[in-house]
Amino acid sequence: MLVIGVDVGGSKASIGLIDTTNGTVLDRALVRTPPLADAGAPFIAAVADAARALQARTGAEVTAAGIGICEIVDAAGEIVSAYRVRWTSADIRQAFAFAGQVVIEADIRAAAVAEARFGAGRGLSHWIYANAGTGVAIVLMMGEKPYPGGHGRAVIAGMSSSSFTAADAPCIEEIAGGAGMLLRARRAGIAVDHASALLDRAATGDVASQAIVVEGGAVFGRMLGMLANTLDPEAVVIGGGIASASPQFMDACRTAFRSSIWYDGADVPPAFLARLGADSGLIGAAVCAIAHPAEK
């Protein structure tokens, strides 16, 4: 079954033609996410045009489109925030009407569904999927089913304060997310244009860059440790561009995670990288598009 999958993130929108029987990406396109002020109707049109071009180029007959977006999506599939992208659910459905059924989901939940079905979460019953990319998001998984919470907001642990003692402490995303690390690097006088450049500088031994990356990983790991103490997962699966690109970030994350777990022994949940890499979001969005609402 061929489905259009779209993963709208803080830095880019990935569009793919997905075979949902095995999670294969048959063709793909990329559209950069503009600044918030410009991330409205023209951005939707550009992404929809890229999806339509994929369909035309391959001659494929698609049955649905799944849109994963880096915003809060409620149980009815309505976008209820505009933190990074100014899209409305109605605008999305209109732009992608050519694809048939259109399903909208939070990007973190879509990525977790893909890992549950085809990746590192396969076979797990109670687990956490955590994303460290441009931003930070978390979702509790029960098999292949994400836990949405009472209002669809059970994904925004990254917006919590990084400190229990300081009221004005920055949120976790501002320290552990790629956009936050980039901003902190620039404030420290480190000349980098992208988070990937910061990670490269850290990997080559630049002490100031390393300090930012390692602190980001440690804060991310402590957050995961707190959640593990609260939720008792079988495992923690970590995805996102920062986590997958930086061993330094992940080493700091794992060290902080293990030191934050209250108990010892074999019950300490493993923390390992997602298997689908950058494709988890668009594969998961496609899977969500054909799943019965009760299965999502």
Amino acid at residue number 189: G
Q: Looking at the domain that runs over 2-112+278-295, which CATH code has it been given?
A: 3.30.420.40
Residue 163 is predicted with a pLDDT of 87
Of these ranges, 30-39, 74-83, 198-207, the one predicted with the greatest mean pLDDT is 198-207
Q: Do 249 and 235 meet the contact criterion of CB atoms below 8 Å apart? A: no
What pLDDT score does 168 carry?
80
pLDDT > 60? residue 36: yes
The answer to whether 129 touches 141, Cβ cutoff 8 Å, is yes
Q: What's the rounded mean pLDDT across residues 122-137?
A: 96
- What would the mean pLDDT of 62-77 be, rounded to a whole number? 93
Work out the mean pLDDT of the chain and round it to a whole number: 93
pLDDT digits (tens, 9 = 90+) for 275-292: 999 899 999 999 999 985
Domain 125-274 grouped into CATH 3.40.50.2300: no
pLDDT band at 293 (very low <50, low <70, confident <90, very high): very low
pLDDT by residue (tens digit) across 150-196?
999 999 999 999 988 877 889 999 999 999 999 999 999 999 999 99
Domain ranges of the chain: 2-112+278-295, 125-274
Give the separation between CA 294 and CA 291, rounded to whole angstroms.
8
What average pLDDT score do residues 246-273 get?
93
Q: Which distant-in-sequence residues (6+ apart) come within 8 Å of 115 by Cβ?
A: 121, 122, 129, 237, 239, 274, 275, 276, 280, 284
Q: CA 78, 83, 85: angle at the middle one, nearest 5? A: 70
Strands 126-132 vs 235-239: parallel, antiparallel or unpaired = parallel
**pTM for the whole structure:** 0.93
80 in helix, strand or coil? Answer: coil
Residues 154-173: b if buried by 16+ CB within 10 A, e if exposed: bbbbbebebeeeeeeeebbb
